[in-house]
Amino acid sequence: MLLFFITIPLCAAFLISLFNRKIKNLSDFIANLATFILFLFSLSSIKLISLYKIIVYRLGGWMPPMGICLVGDGLASFMLVTVNLISFLVMIYSISYMDRYTDKWKFHALFMLMLAGMNGVILSGDLFSLYLFLEMASISAYVLVAFGTEPEDLEASFKYAIMGSIASIFILLGIGLLYSYTSTLNMADISSGLLNKPKGLLVGFVAVLFLAGFGLKSALVPFHTWLPDAHSSAPSPVSAILSGIFIKTLGIYALARIFFNILGISDKILFLFMVLGVLSMVVGALLAMAQNDIKRMLAYSSISQIGYIVFALGIGTPLALLGGLLHLFNHAVFKSLLFLNAGAIEYSTGSRKLSDLGGLNSKLPITGGTSFIGSMSIAGIPPLGGFWSKLIIIIAAVQTGHIGFAFVAVLVSIITLVYYLKFQSFVFFGKLNQAYIKVREVPLVMKLAMVFLAGISIFSGLLLTPPFKDFLQSATGILLSGTAYGQAIFGAIK
């Protein structure tokens, strides 16, 4: 069952590259079918997880300290649902968006490889296969960023590739050191092994290496320089995936998994998370104010929202973790919605400069409406999803006595509102630019994907109500259980 999350996208990727010339539009069909099946599987994994708590699949029947295993628990199934939902909708969107590019099948094949990598990162139960899947996803992301082969794309992709490979080198060094210390690669085994050994300088050094590596991947503020370039140069569906789920699975999920469940969390690391989170929030929001390019603004706002999530992880109380995960889901939904909107604007007008556009609401009613919902949700206007998660994070911060940080979070939320209002007023309201009189609304499938995402971002606040709350709480429970994770997995095997 868990294995299918990796084999289906891989199989789809190779099928696409095998039959690309024989039958036209086959790649669209295969890719959409594969993502749809994956989405269904991820939904069914919720049910399975709620029954069994932890599912462990042993590859080749070897027992975990020796063999490789795939682990599905509450957190993993939460991430799987997020990833596969977004990638399914983005795939629908890209049916007609990617028509502008040549070699569409290459896009689909690479996309599938990236999806397989992300699912693998979520599910893998030992550190080295986590590294492998991470590299698989990253390499296809480097190529996808350069997909347009314009000079800007190439430059951004090169920057991203250099930063990304430095990050993976740090991660591999950390894995090597950890292996030399505990002489095992299995996550559960490492976490129970570290409990019995004194935590020396080495573990601290490894923690710093992982923080630098995964921080680079998730674009926390001192390491954020690649993100705005890469995300704004990529084709819009790709930037929706990159910004919506890629940096979260590779960065936030891996950080949370490693620090909470393997190395064990301490006050120092929590404080570090909080400081990094607040820094990312403030710097991202301030830089986003100054941008003129829609996608660049969205990319900086991604940094700022990632800051919220890391801040919530840093507070570390159950309520804060709940808020952080909810915000992760929300941000995945509305940020990919906004990137798809930006793609739609570019598709129909050919420009993404804020100063060029204006009054598009009459011409692009659906794009305008959905992007209004997305913007308001990200800025935290009450009935929408983004409000609830931000509220929970801020309440949790106040409860633990970090009133200064909570104040900053509220302030950043207001700044967010300001720059999204600016985005709305420049693009959709005001006087229509004469050049865009003949602009038409985007094709049906693109509308469909955007409307779906907007609907989800309206109702995602409902995740806090009873029928869905178990789902979120099983995910936070995993993070809270800390280093007991190791025992839990070995318990599940026996």
Partner 1 sequence: MCFVLFSIGLYCILRKRNIIKIIIGIVIVEYALNLFLILIGYRIHGRAPIVAQDQEILNMVDPLPQAMVSTSIVIGLAIIVVLISLAIRIYEKYGTFDITKIRRLKG
Partner 2 sequence: MSNEKGMSLIVKTVTRLTFGLIIIYGIYIVLRGHISPGGGFAGGVIITLSFILLMLAFGKDNVLKKLNQSRCLTFSSLGALIFLFIATAGFINKQKAVGGKEHFAIFGAGLIPLCDIAVSVMVGTGLFLMFFALVLLVEEKEGK
Contacts with partner 2 by CB under 8 A lie at: 3, 7, 10-11, 14-15, 17-18, 21, 60-61
Residue 392 beta carbon to partner 2: minimum distance, rounded to whole angstroms:
40
Binder of residue 473, out of partner 1, partner 2, none (CB less than 5 to 8 A by kind)? none
| Size (the chain), residues | 494
Sorted by sequence, the CB contacts under 8 Å of residue 329 that are 6+ apart come out as 78, 82, 389, 460, 463
Q: Rounded to the nearest whole angstrom, what is the least distance from the CB of residue 364 to partner 2 in the complex?
A: 39
> Hey, what are 142's tokens?
């480097």
Quote the least distance from Cβ 3 to partner 2, whole Å.
6
Between residues 78 and 147, which has the closer beta carbon with respect to partner 2?
147
Binding at 441: pick from partner 2, partner 1, none (beta carbon under 5-8 Å per type): none
Least Å from the CB of residue 229 to partner 2: 23
Q: Which lies closer to partner 1 via its Cβ, residue 150 or residue 470?
A: 150
- Quick one: what does residue 3 bind among partner 1, partner 2, none, with the CB cut-off 5 to 8 Å set by partner type? partner 2
Handedness of CA 343, 349, 350, 356 (dihedral sign): negative
165: partner contacted, choices partner 1, partner 2, none (Cβ within 5-8 A by kind)? partner 1
Nearer to partner 1, 168 or 367 (CB): 168
* Least distance CB 360 / partner 1 (angstroms): 24
Give which of partner 2, partner 1, none residue 60 binds (C-beta under 5 to 8 Å, depending on kind). partner 2
Shortest Å distance, C-beta 16 to partner 2: 8
Amino acid present at 100: R
143 binds, among partner 2, partner 1, none (CB under 5 to 8 A by kind): partner 1
Q: Residue 320: which of partner 1, partner 2, none does it interact with, CB under 5 to 8 A by kind?
A: none
Which of the choices partner 1, partner 2, none does residue 11 contact, using the CB cut-off of 5 to 8 A by kind?
partner 2
CB of 14 or CB of 407, closer to partner 2: 14
Q: Which does 36 bind (CB under 5 to 8 A by kind): partner 2, partner 1, none?
A: none
Return the number of the residue (14 or 205) whose C-beta is nearest partner 2: 14
Nearer to partner 2, 106 or 199 (CB): 106
Query: By C-beta, is 3 or 169 nearer to partner 2?
Result: 3
The nearest distance, CB 175 to partner 1, in angstroms, is 8
Q: Which does 128 bind (CB under 5 to 8 A by kind): partner 2, partner 1, none?
A: partner 1
**Closest approach of Cβ 12 to partner 2, in Å?**
11
CB of 21 to partner 2, least distance (A): 7
Q: What is the 3-state secondary structure (H, E, C) of the chain?
A: CCCHHHHHHHHHHHHHHHHCCCCCCHHHHHHHHHHHHHHHHHHHHHHHHHHHCCEEEEHHHCCCCCCCEEEECHHHHHHHHHHHHHHHHHHHHHHHHHHHCCCHHHHHHHHHHHHHHHHHHHHECEHHHHHHHHHHHHHHHHHHHHHHCCHHHHHHHHHHHHHHHHHHHHHHHHHHHHHHHHCCCEHHHHHHHHHHCCCCHHHHHHHHHHHHHHHHHHCCHHHCCHHHHHHHHCCHHHHHHHHHHHHHHHHHHHHHHHHHHHCCCCHHHHHHHHHHHHHHHHHHHHHHHCCCEHHHHHHHHHHHHHHHHHHHHHHCCHHHHHHHHHHHHHHHHHHHHHHHHHHHHHHHHCCCECCCCCCHHHCCHHHHHHHHHHHHHHHCCCCCHHHHHHHHHHHHHHHCCCHHHHHHHHHHHHHHHHHHHHHHHHHCCCCCCHHHCCCCCCCHHHHHHHHHHHHHHHHHHHHHCHHHHHHHHHHHHHHHHHHHHHHHHHHHHC
Of the two residues 222 and 383, which places its CB atom closer to partner 1 in the complex?
222
In the complex, minimum distance from the CB of residue 297 to partner 1, in angstroms, rounded to a whole number: 10
Q: Which is nearer to partner 2, 18 or 444 (CB)?
A: 18
Encode burial over 107-129: b for 16+ CB neighbours within 10 A, e otherwise.
Answer: bbbbbbbbbbbbbbbbbbbbbeb
Q: Using CB distances below 5 to 8 A depending on partner kind, what does residue 176 bind out of partner 1, partner 2, none?
A: partner 1
Closer CB to partner 2, 129 or 236, in the complex: 129
Q: Give the nearer residue to partner 1 in terms of CB position, either 38 or 287.
A: 287
Which residues form the interface with partner 1 (CB under 8 A)? 128, 132, 135, 139, 142-143, 146, 149-152, 154-158, 161-162, 165-166, 168-169, 172-173, 176, 179-180, 185, 228-229, 233, 287, 290-291, 296
User: Among candidates 278, 377, 399, 269, which has minimal Cα distance to 329?
Assistant: 377
